[in-house]
């Protein structure tokens, strides 16, 4: 088995549920619990320890990062009040807009926006855009991902309505990096990924760009936001917002943002996600997606 395929399978099989941080000692305030899906960093554990320590100094209170490999797991924890905040995709934020409240939106390369990218293997030169994908194997990142599922489904809505077996085969990789690696390794002919992950991984591991090609770029969407539940106590929401929105003003905070390849966080507005709302509404009417 080629090394790239073997590495992809090992990474996918190795996804584990993990919680960073310890339980609060009796008599201490309950920890602030922040939910995360997998991020792009190569040394994720070390980064999260540094970010947790920095946040604890800001709050003078314990902080726990709760990690899950699937978007829906984090959304459900937040909806069940088992998290105080979470970094989610715009799709579940819109799908549960009545229960979630914007906390902070990352600013990436000067804008709080990103794109969905359709990528293909170098070998499939006949795939020039998403309309050329009929009969191919396609990797989706996560069923609750805007860039990794909702957008390509919307883009192909007419074809999928007429031809439910449009693709020869589809599968979920449970991560944008996993999708990139699946396409690069030839496990899929093409896939849909987050432009932020693609561009960050391209800088850190340019070998992937040599094995996969971007054939289509979506319109801009609001960057995946940090949110709280509408029932999160206002003092926690407010303090979380204050800390995140001023993170770039602190030297260590800036260093952490640089590791994430982000400029800063800003407050954000719900209308930044209007495009996702329109796509979700139409796809629900067509019966092509269910609620995130």
Q: What is the pLDDT of residue 247?
A: 98
Is 208 in contact with 183 (CB distance < 8 Å)? Answer: no
Q: What is the pLDDT of residue 22?
A: 42
- Tens-digit pLDDT profile for residues 7-33: 444 344 333 333 444 444 556 789 999
Give the tokens for residue 22: 């310890």
Give the tokens for residue 213: 């090609």
Q: What is the pLDDT of residue 291?
A: 64
| Sign of the torsion angle spanned by Cα atoms 171, 177, 183, 187 | negative
Parts of the chain with a pLDDT under 70: 1-27, 40, 42, 291
Distance between CA atoms of residues 177 and 8, nearest Å = 9
pTM, full prediction: 0.88
Distance between CA atoms of residues 168 and 186, nearest Å = 15
Q: What is the dihedral of CA 103, 109, 114, 120, to 10 degrees?
A: -140
Q: What is the pLDDT of residue 191?
A: 98
Q: What is the pLDDT of residue 48?
A: 94
């Amino acid at each position: 088995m080629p090394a790239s395929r073997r590495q992809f399978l090992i990474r996918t099989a190795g996804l584990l549920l993990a919680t960073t941080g310890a339980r609060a000692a009796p008599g201490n305030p309950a920890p602030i619990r922040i939910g995360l899906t997998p991020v792009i960093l190569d040394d994720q554990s070390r980064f999260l320890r540094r970010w947790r320590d920095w946040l604890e100094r800001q709050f003078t209170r314990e902080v726990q990062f709760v990690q899950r490999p699937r978007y829906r797991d984090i959304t459900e924890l937040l909806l069940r009040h088992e998290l105080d905040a979470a970094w989610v995709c715009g799709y579940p934020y819109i799908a549960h807009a009545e229960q979630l409240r914007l906390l902070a939106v990352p600013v990436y390369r000067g804008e709080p926006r990103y794109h969905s990218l359709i990528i293909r293997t170098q070998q499939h030169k006949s795939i020039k855009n998403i309309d050329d994908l009929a009969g191919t194997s396609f990797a989706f990142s996560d069923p609750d991902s805007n860039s990794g599922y909702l957008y390509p489904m919307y883009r192909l809505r007419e074809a999928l309505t007429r031809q439910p077996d449009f693709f020869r085969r589809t599968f979920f990789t449970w991560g944008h990096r996993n999708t990139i690696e699946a396409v690069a390794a030839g496990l899929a002919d093409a896939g849909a990924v987050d432009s932020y992950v693609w561009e960050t991984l391209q800088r850190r591991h340019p070998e992937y760009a040599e094995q996969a090609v971007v054939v289509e770029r979506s319109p801009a969407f609001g960057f995946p936001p940090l949110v709280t539940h509408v029932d999160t106590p206002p003092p926690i929401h407010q303090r979380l917002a204050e800390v995140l929105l001023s993170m770039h003003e602190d030297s260590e905070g800036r260093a952490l943002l640089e590791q994430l390849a982000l400029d800063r966080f800003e407050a954000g507005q719900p209308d930044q996600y209007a495009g996702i709302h329109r796509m979700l509404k139409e796809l629900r009417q067509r019966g092509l997606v269910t609620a995130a």
